[in-house]
Each structure stands twice: as C-alpha cells, then as structure tokens.
C-alpha cells in the first residue's frame, strides 16, 4: 500500500514538473477549446442531429455485435457441432430478415420521401390533346 502511494506521488510530481505550462491568456484559452482530429471546432456543440444518425448508430451496434458473435464462434465451429451451426445460421437469417425489413420499410432512407401523386387532367384540356410522337429505336 505504501509503495502504491509513493509511486502515485512520484508520477504526479513528474507530470507537474515535465508537463506543459500555461503562458499568457491566449494559451489558456486555446487549451480550453475542444480539439479533435486536428480541427478546431466551429459553432456550438449543442445542435440537434437528425434521427437518422441515431438509427444508423443503432444499426451499426446491432450488426457489429453480430460480427463479434460470429467471429467468436468461428474458431470452435468444428467442436460445437451441428446444433451450434444451425443456431448461428438461424441468428444470421433473423438479422438478414431484419435488415430486409428495415430496408423495405424505409428506415435506411436519408432523403425526403417522394410520393408520386396521380395528376387529374380535366377533359378536353390542352395537356390531354397533345400527343408526343414515339421515337423509333434504331
């Protein structure tokens, strides 16, 4: 216990002695700014993100966990036998069906939804009377 306390005191003292020091107000201000990926932040961090970002994060976690399960199962596939193989295949089939369902329901769409509304053309209107000649394919 005493060794741990002495070691921690030495590490803190070395960090204070060898670490960077604040010089002037400009350096202190720049040290308090968030800095990520080599770019200083612009604007506020308190902005609203679209729901699609959260959906994408959830989908990533789900399919990442699938990868971890399959990766951890792969080395013991021979020892686990057919029952484990069938359970993993069932797991993958369910996740594939879930992905197809998400795709078909539009959960993976990022842009605005476009609906094709039928256009009602009144009788005897100029639009109805104009016939566009079909082009001949050569």
Would you say residue 13 lies in a domain? Answer: no
Closest CA to 75 of 66, 84, 83: 84
Tell me what pLDDT residue 13 has. Answer: 93
**Structural domain that includes position 99:** 51-105
Contact, 15 vs 7, CB < 8 A? no
The number of domains in the chain is 1
Q: Say what the pLDDT of residue 94 is.
A: 92
Contacts with 85 (C-beta within 8 Å, 6 or more apart), sequence order: 77
* Domain contains 23: no
Query: What pLDDT does residue 55 have?
Result: 81
In a domain, 91, yes or no: yes
The tokens describing 121, both together, are 């053309």
Task: State both tokens at 132.
Answer: 């566009």
- The pLDDT of residue 115 is 62
Residue 107: the pLDDT is 76
| pLDDT block averages, 10 residues each, the chain of length 138 | 92 86 56 63 73 81 87 87 90 90 81 64 60 60
Residue 73 lies in a domain: yes
Report the distance separating Cα 81 and Cα 6, nearest Å. Answer: 54
Contact criterion met (CB below 8 Å) for 69 and 89: no
Give the pLDDT confidence score for residue 33 in this predicted structure: 61
Cα separation, 11 vs 18, in Å, equals: 10
């Amino acid at each position: 216990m005493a060794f741990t306390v002495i070691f921690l005191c030495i590490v803190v003292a070395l960090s204070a002695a060898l670490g960077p020091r604040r010089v002037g107000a400009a350096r202190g201000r720049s040290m308090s700014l968030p800095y990520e990926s080599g770019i200083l932040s612009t604007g506020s961090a308190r902005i609203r993100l679209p729901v699609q970002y959260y959906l994408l994060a959830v989908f990533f976690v789900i399919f990442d966990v699938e990868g971890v399960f399959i990766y951890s199962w792969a080395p013991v596939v021979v020892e686990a036998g057919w029952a484990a193989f069938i359970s993993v295949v069932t797991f993958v089939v369910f996740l594939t069906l879930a992905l197809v369902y998400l795709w078909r329901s539009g959960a993976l769409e990022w842009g605005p939804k476009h609906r094709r509304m039928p256009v009602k053309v009144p009788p005897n209107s100029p639009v109805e009377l104009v016939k566009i000649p079909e082009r001949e394919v050569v």
